Amino acid sequence: MTTPTAPSGPRASFGERLIAAIIDSIVVGLATGLLGRIGFFGSVIGFIVSYGYYVYLEGSPSGQTVGKRAMSIRVVGMHTGTTIGYGGAFVRVIGKIVSAIPCLLGFFWMLWDPERQTWHDKFADAVVVPVASYPVAAWPG
């Protein structure tokens, strides 16, 4: 068995990540929109479902949401090149809130970061990479 190494290859582009985020927003938006029609408790459940979607899929062995899968990119650990796990995915999701607060600056940070990391990537010690360079172990489910 070989030991995984830190990812030293290419990183996902801003465009790939943006399109993946749009796809994920549509998927999550449909689910939470339907739940929101139930009322307040539906909205609360929708909030939990939306965060659970990212934690479950990005923390899985594939490191891919539906959008990332469509764009053939995945989240891996910065120093391991493997899954960030559910704990890392949870930190990354919370980090997205921080990334969004100052006019989305944390999301655009990848445009000048040498590792193409957003703030939430940095919080979770993760990078987003092309699947072609870092093959997926398995799709969850």
Per-residue pLDDT of the chain (141 residues; tens, 9 = 90+): 455 566 778 999 999 999 999 999 999 999 888 887 888 888 889 889 999 999 999 999 999 999 999 999 999 999 999 999 999 999 999 999 999 999 999 999 999 999 999 999 999 999 999 999 988 866 665
pTM of the model: 0.89
Residue 52 neighbours by CB under 8 Å, 6+ apart: none
- Each domain of the chain, given as residue ranges in start order, spans 14-130
Give dist(CA 91, CA 119) in Å, integer: 11
